Structure 1
Amino acid sequence: PEEAVIKMDLARQTRQVLSTLTPREEKVLRMRFGIGDRTNHTLEEVGKFFALTRERIRQIEAKALRKIRHPSRSKFLKSYLER
């Protein structure tokens, strides 16, 4: 019961943090890490989806992860890492 509530809250917080990114950054991270559809995609696959190179997708992913790691955003998810 408590674990289910924590899981739901983590999902909500993750959605909230992802929504602070640009739509493209959010979609790249969702596809790369299987967030939402539970299927991870390669840089190549994501690149084909967006008609971009693997390298450009890697750059977009890296920038999005840097944004998420910024204290103003990461504070929402840090408490889950400490459990």
Structure 2
Amino acid sequence: SLSEPLREDGDAELGDVVEDRSAESPFEMAATALLPVEINRLLAPLDEREREILRLRFGLDRGEPRTLEEVGEHFNLTRERIRQIEARAMSKLRHPSSDTGARDLLSV
């Protein structure tokens, strides 16, 4: 049983030292909590529609990435227009005046 004492003094139980591989590590929990904040900071130079298009296209809200067609349907725009808006948004993020750190991420 996991509630069995490890020592005679009863301070620790077996369950205290057995690793739960399904549990998130403290690092993973912190990264998960900080990710939305960091995404918002990186996308701040964009207008609302550009931000939403990138969020949908790349699955940035913990969703599945969507196709140009799917995003176009969401906004009632053609996939070509979505591609153009996405390209303009990415260009803005790469520009030196948007000093959010996104330029370094996008140059990879």
Secondary structure, counterpart of 2:69 in structure 1: helix
> Is the contact between residue 28 and residue 57 of structure 1 (CA under 8 Å) also seen in structure 2?
yes
1:60 matched to 2:56? The reply is no
Higher Rg of the two aligned structures: 2
State the number of aligned residues. Answer: 80
Structure 2 residues without counterparts, runs of 5 or longer: 1-25
TM norm structure 2: 0.60
> Is the contact between residue 42 and residue 100 of structure 2 (CA under 8 Å) also seen in structure 1?
no
Q: Which runs of 4+ in 1 moved over 4 A?
A: 1-11
Secondary structure, counterpart of 1:60 in structure 2: helix
Structure number with the bigger relative contact order (C-alpha 8 A, sep ≥ 6) is 1
> Is the contact between residue 55 and residue 61 of structure 2 (CA under 8 Å) also seen in structure 1?
yes
Identity %: 46
Question: Relative to 1, partners in 2 of residues 1:20 and 1:64: Cα closer, same or farther, differing over 3 Å?
Answer: same
RMSD of aligned Cα (Å):
2.5
Which has a greater percent of helix?
1
Deviations 1:2-49 (A, max 9, x none): 676567556533311212211000000000000013310000000000
